[in-house]
Structure 1
Amino acid sequence: MGDKKTKTLPFVTSDRYPGVRYREHPHRKHGATTPDRYYAIRFQVDGRRVEEGLGWSSEGWSEKKALVEMEKLKTAAKTGEGASSLRERRAIAKAKRDAEEAAAVQAEKDSLTFGQFFEGTYILQEVADGKAPRSIIREKQLFKKWIAPVIGSMPMKTISPFHLERIKKNIADAGLTHRTAQYTLAIVRQCFNAARRAGAFNGESPITKIKMPSATGNARMRFLTQDEAGKLLDALAAGRSRDTHDVSLLSLYTGLRSSECFKLKWADVDLEGRVLHVMDTKNKHPRSVPMPNNVVAMLTGRRPDPCDLGELVFANTKGEVTAFVSNAFRRAVEHLGLNDGITDSRQKVVFHSLRHTCASWMVQRGVPLFTVGKILGHKTLTMTERYSHLAPDTLRAAIDTLEAAATSPAPKVVALHAG
């Protein structure tokens, strides 16, 4: 508030309060007629002169207030308690503010929940980094289904290995594969790593203290018999979820994954040619799958008139891609007791069992493994070879041919002579 000219004016010592000094602004007034005064103090501490500038009367300073301030500093200097100069007081005040700000930042970190970081930072960063949209959708689905119910509302610093083991158990109890648990826990690991990089989390990630599920022996072995499949479809038809029945029928007789069913559009359905064009696949390689009569009839009954080819065949209530199979499927399985007494998740009937059943039935009926792999969309024949044990007659016939060749007399060779 001062200027160069004001700073060159001499100080005037107060008549009433020794040590209190002031100088008056040549133009500015404080009140109607009184010049604005700049106050300062001067005193001795251990033989050392101390001078401190305080402020203007227009800022609230007065001779008496300046005296009180001087006495505080002198007392502090004598007793060693508190700041003995304004510079020291300002330093103490700044240190206090810095400590309070650091405490506030730490408190914010400590209260940051896993869900807040996942939705407010992690996913946004994944989008900015150009992660594939289908991967982001999948991560959101797994978060909503398995992660959020256990740790979504928990502060990140309070999450322990115990909570992550609970996520693993919930996935296993639902009959899902180790691969699902691997993917889900990988999201948790990536979130903690991202939080540490962003400075939002300082501790050790609890993911380092649990054993990640192994994909070894992850393949499902259980498939439905014709009778079990019929009863399951009947139970679904008797329920109130037509979509669950229809999508189950589709997967059972075409081998489509649930995600492939849910992303199917009417433009992909060729009812006349009896073919499905599966465009959005897990391995990103589109394929065409023939439809049996029962699937053609089901889709014909579902097709709206007029039909928007861009619409999803199995859209949710918002017209968007369905995220998960309805609980109606699980309830039907429980009602029929298909999983009673079964503890091995690979042997439990889940929606994916319909795709496995489709493949198993084809192999049992002599469809070549190469053809089955093409229908299922397997990237390699190795993925299809796990069904080879379901074709014992074909394999036995091959061995019997070798045995017959070994035991039968060698055919007589007739030499041919020219001439």
Structure 2
Amino acid sequence: MAIEQLPDGRWRVDVEPIKGKRFRKTLKTKGEAQRFEATCRSKLIETPTWSLKPTDRRRLSELIDRWAMLHSHTLADGDARRRLLDELAKALGDPVAIRLTGNAYAEYRAKALAAGANPKTLNNRLGYLRSVYNVLRQLGDIDYANPLENTRPLRLQEKELAYLTSAQVDHLFAVIHGRCRTPHVAMVAAICLATGARWGEAQALTPERVRDGLVTFANTKGKRVRSIPIDPLLQQRILGHFKHHGTFSNCLNSFDQTLAASKIPLPAGQSSHVLRHTFASRFVMNGGNILTLQRILGHQSLAMTMRYAHLAPDHLQDAVRYGPVSDFRQFFDSWPG
């Protein structure tokens, strides 16, 4: 049926030029009905607005499966992230992926916060879930926009990065030498303190990566090889350690326990990085260049390195040097009392 006259004299249009795209309208005259029908047909032919492609009905868990197969193997933490994403999909009720909304995620997040979830953990989960959509769209596996692109992460209070004083460094190494059964702990700790390396990077060193006044870290978090100059005496000590004790064993737990036994107060979660933070903090306080520090630490983003900028000896001193107070010194010179 295309055009049909109704008992009351009006004309009803019921036309489906393309399967799935149907138009219905009731008009006063047959001429109006014919023109409406023609308009519907011509618009669809000239500027089609429909899609013959079926809607993507895959659920979030299926998209995560796809992401894992196509992309997770490129990540150092791919397996762990996959497990976290599976848990997240379950917590969200495993919706049809295209129908997930920022509001639905915000409701999940609010409930998780009320239950005591760590805000930083929730921000990480949001970033991981966004990445699933972004990666699959880049690969052409989905053809719709990321439904979470406008969902903002929680704003977090920046944490001060703890570093050790000279007295605390001496105390820590005294406790290490007196408590640790394996000699590897002291040497790995010394390498971290001297180069700013992460514990895992220093622990993975081998004799062939210590030469010509450099230590070379290969299996890094940023996937980039970097070489850091060291003092000749430290190079001699490292090579002597390898000769007498062999390559390093996994001794992070021993270090963490020893650090706790030292009673040095540290913020939660910073024990394994405290030597790295100490190197970076001392480097900046001694006048080191922040861009050089970025390369030494292997940060991909300068923003990460800028966390140490406030420790620079001239940090914010321009507020005194160039601020307006200097223009009104005579005002303070004449201040009563």
Which residue in the other structure is 2:289 paired with? 368
Other-structure match for 1:391: 312
Pick the aligned partner of 2:219 from 276, 280, 287.
280
* Partners of 1:260 and 1:281 within 8 A in 2: yes
Give 1:254's aligned residue: 195
CA contact (8 A) 1:280 1:286 kept: yes
Shift of 1:352: 0.7
For residues 189 and 399 of structure 1, do their structure 2 counterparts lie closer, same or farther at Cα, with a shift above 3 Å needed?
A: closer
Q: Select the residue among 220, 245, 248 that pairs with 1:314.
A: 248
Of 390, 397, 400, which residue of structure 1 is paired with 2:321? 400
Aligned-pair Cα RMSD in Å: 5.1
Deviation at 1:248, TM superposition (A): 1.5
Partner in structure 2 of residue 5 of structure 1: none
Query: What corresponds to 2:262 in structure 1?
Result: 336
Aligned residue for 2:277? 356
* Residue number among 205, 208, 222 corresponding to 1:264 in the alignment: 205
Q: Note the C-alpha offset of 1:392.
A: 3.3
- Give the letter aligned to residue 228 of structure 1: Q
Q: Does the CA-based 8 Å contact 1:222-1:353 persist in structure 2?
A: yes
Secondary structure of 1:277 counterpart:
strand
Task: Give the structure 2 partner of residue 100 of structure 1.
Answer: none
Deviation at 1:254, TM superposition (A): 0.4
TM-score, normalised relative to structure 1: 0.43
Larger radius of gyration: 1
Partner of 1:134: 76
On the 8 A contact 1:254/1:289 being kept in 2, the answer is yes
Q: Using the TM superposition, give the Cα deviation of residue 261 of structure 1 relative to its aligned residue in structure 2, in angstroms.
A: 1.9
| CA distance 1:402–1:216, shift in 2 (3 Å) | closer
Among candidates 278, 298, 313, match of residue 377 of structure 1: 298
250-259 or 329-338: bigger deviation: 329-338
Indicate conservation of the 8 Å contact 2:281/2:311, yes or no. yes
Secondary structure at the counterpart of residue 228 of structure 2:
strand
Map 1:44-83 onto structure 2 (within 5 A). none
Cα distance change on mapping 1:253 and 1:139 into 2, 3 Å: farther
1:263 to partner: Cα distance: 3.1
Matched, 1:299 2:238: yes
CA 1:137/1:267 → structure 2, altered by over 3 Å: closer, same or farther?
farther
Amino acid at match of 2:208: A
* Matched residue type, 1:132: T
Normalised to the residue count of structure 2, the TM-score between the two structures is: 0.51
Unmatched 5+ stretches in structure 2: 1-63, 92-108, 132-151, 329-337
In structure 2, how many angstroms separate the alpha carbons of the residues matched to 1:337 and 1:252? Answer: 19
Q: 1:135 to 1:349 in 2, by over 3 A?
A: closer
Superposed CA deviations along residues 303-357 of structure 1, whole A, max 9, x for unmatched, are 23899xxxxx4244xxxxxxxx532222222222123xx6x53xx6501111111
Cα separation, 2, equivalents of 1:402 and 1:336:
44
Question: Quick one: which amino acid aligns to residue 201 of structure 2?
Answer: E
Matching residue's letter, 1:338 = I
Q: Who is 1:231 aligned against?
A: 171
Cα separation, partners in 2 of 1:406 and 1:287, compared to 1, 3 Å = farther
Given that residues 168 and 181 in structure 1 are in contact (C-alpha distance below 8 angstroms), is that contact kept between their aligned partners in structure 2?
A: no
Shift of 1:402: 8.1
Conserved in 2, the CA contact under 8 Å of 1:366 and 1:394?
A: no
Q: Is the 8 A contact 2:280 2:308 kept in 1?
A: yes
Query: Displacement, 1:250?
Result: 1.1
Q: Which residue of 2 aligns with 1:216?
A: 156
CA apart distance, 1:378: 2.0
Per the TM alignment, residue 227 of structure 1 is displaced from its structure 2 partner at its CA by: 0.9
In 2, the alpha carbon distance for the partners of 1:388 and 1:187 equals: 29
What's the CA shift for 1:179? Answer: 5.7
Structure 1: distance between partners of 2:181 and 2:153: 36
Counterparts in 2 of 1:230 and 1:168: CA distance versus 1, 3 Å: farther
